[in-house]
Structure 1
Amino acid sequence: MQAVIMAGGKGTRLRSITNDQIPKPMACINGKTILEWQIECLKSNNITNILIVTGHLGRKIEDFFKDGAEFGVKISYFREEQPLGSAGALYYIKEKLISDTFLLVYGDVLFDIDIQRMIRFHREKNSLATLFTHPNSHPYDSDLVVTDEECKVIKFDSKNNNRDYWYKNCVNAGLFIANVDLCNLVVKDEVTDLEKDIFIPLTAKHAPIYSYFSPEYIKDVGTPERIAVAAKELASGFVSNRNLKNKQKCIFLDRDGTINRLNGLISSEDDLSLEPCATEAIRKINQSGYLAIVVTNQPVVARGLCNISDVENIHKKLESLLGKQGVILDDILFCPHHPDKGYPEENPIYKIPCQCRKPNTGMIEICIEKYNIDVKSSWIVGDTTTDILTGQRIGLQTALVLTGEAGADKKYDVISDITCNNLLDAINNILLY
């Protein structure tokens, strides 16, 4: 596969670093330019044919990288004489593309990801374009990507919208896999925005545009503040460790009684309120390098108290509340089933035995495969013996919290590895191991 790097922006937000003497992607982080970090990641994913679209001060890029041989890759260039937006150059580069599919990335994005996983996803979906999406620490002022259950993009939620509703923390990261046919949608010499002018009209026509959602490291480093943060994260190993080629550590979290207050069977977003320490606890997980993934039984669906979309809206509220505090969940999985029949309002479709309902380990197994999780280095935290047995069955370390049911359910004769006052206490203890 060939990569196309859009490196033509002026980078006015980085002027204090570039002094308008170098283009934005030539700003340095820990002794390497942003473009060098990008090229290293591409090369590690066996993507060695790279086309760089240059513009403002583009000669600086061309003189530094030349044909790419010194960096172990092959580089060609297209220079925009006039700025054409984030997609206008696609009209011209289509003749330079060597295959039907190419990877497109913005030149101010720092990333270290397993691109081959994304390529497989793109091909499995037979996608016209696949967007790399992720949760970020400021979804409240970000453009959001809205998908269906098959990860197909159904619309874009502009940051300028009046969000008087809950939302999923799913943000376009600035890296894409696209079919060359996308280039044919760009008009010659017309300033074109990739999202506004290409993706939004395509999703309105139900075109096969997909979201590849991943917790790997990918960040816009287009400001001095973001470069300073990225420098620390690179130096600590946080960036490379999040690449899904590497085994991941995860803290699996129960929901009711652990993250949010136990309030009976929660069937509406109005019933959900966070435990006082939950936000700070999950913030510590985010900073630690562990993944934070919720796995929760939600028999309210099987009992007919609400439907799947209601549970999803409850989870949108959870993500929105956390996101406002700069905190993220890497994923949320829930089981809607319940095996016991006999409730008058029950939904028989979900009244079945399953492998996903805890203490069965189906939800954990999905995450292990999806995120390359190292079970022995990972934990589960919950307020019931059901959570503890789930962890023991699959080999996780276990932490019982004394909120919610506080283990008083006594369904199973199990003992957790640690017992803690609440979620924050549990995370503080886990991080000492």
Structure 2
Amino acid sequence: MRPIGLTLIVLATLVPIYWYIPLGANRDVIALFSQYLGSAALILMGINQFLATRVPGLETVFGPLDRIYVLHKWLGIAALVAMGLHDIIDAEMNGLRGGPLAGIAEDIGEISLYGLMILILASVITFIPYHLWKWSHRIIGVFFFLGAFHYFFIEKPFSNADPLGLYISAFCVLGILSYIWMSLLRPMAPRGHKYEVDLVRRVGGLTELVLLPKGRGMKHKAGQFAFLSIDGGGLGEEHPFTLSGAPSNDRTLRFSIKDLGDYTDRLQRKVQPGMEATVSGPFGHFKMPTGRDPQVWIGAGVGITPFLAFAESLKTSDTGPVKLYYCVRERDDIPYAVELERLAEDVETLEVIIVNTTEGIRLTADRIVSDLGGDVSQAHVFFCGPVQMRKALKSGLVLKGLRASRFHFEEFEMRTGIGLGALAAWLWDRGTLEVEKKLAAKTEPAE
């Protein structure tokens, strides 16, 4: 996430304090603080609805789309906390006169609060099936609209026409318009680039699709991803996938997709050559740097896909030496191993190293530093794979002298939790340990 985007969000949330402070001179400060929390929640939700639109320019301000998805999650959680505190802390003030809809607005505010709480929590509970989460996520805007209605007509110590009222109203309108665009207008508007499925084949545990443009096609850079939807077979819903082929003059696209859920399972069973597809994008800033510094690429499992495009691009790029570590848990058929080894034969600067955990081999920071001759300070490291592996390698390499800014990665999962699984596992382990201690104490012989 870019600092400028985070700074703008923080400032947008804090600006109302400028108008709220004078209101506290002769009013209940606690109730006024609760009013501010409600305003902050609306501002955060309005921004969050706008981030979901994927309009051009968002990546320039807030960073790559994969980081925007993470920001989207945490803004929703922050808004949820602000809403919860607003509900807990009494916001009623004496001497306020509401309009004819004030009573209804109060009740609608409660509906909005609990609806948003349920849907935001459902978004971070990752064991809920994707299609159910996607469906529930679509109606968040409805409850945001109810929250905006609550704000417009509720009793409050300022008018909607005051500078403070207009400021908060602007974010409510932004959120509502963003929701209308995403849910009603965008599906009807022409979008993306039209393609035709030219080739479907299984490569190890992956489904490879080659798409031919039906018009100008989409121009992309190696390492980027795009949203793919296919007409027919129940595959019309958009899903993001990394482009595994290097950019080509005819703008042919290649996707290498692992079966990780309902949609991808259906895709590998039903997609056929000749089907029409829509590709939206490209997105992401996961790309090779220029210069002669050594590079380390680490692809784990399906995380190898951006490096397939990277490796193909080396044919026309002038870079320093590249070590590609392909980490797998396969015994025989390792997807794209042969293709990568052939590329390494054609490109002198590329070295492909298969790290197979079934053979008892694991990739460590020590090994990478050793392979680089003991100095990692000038290298650029690119990683795509599981989060825990990424964190372990990054911390190890930074301790060995790698600058943190030279460790590049892309969020492997668009939908992430907030550690509820880890917390549940920790509580389970603690409970199990206590039970074992008590059982051991009961079975110990008395002295």
Give the TM-score normalised by structure 2: 0.29
User: Which has the larger share of strand?
Assistant: 1
Based on CA coordinates, which of the two structures has the bigger radius of gyration? 2
User: Which has the larger share of helix?
Assistant: 2
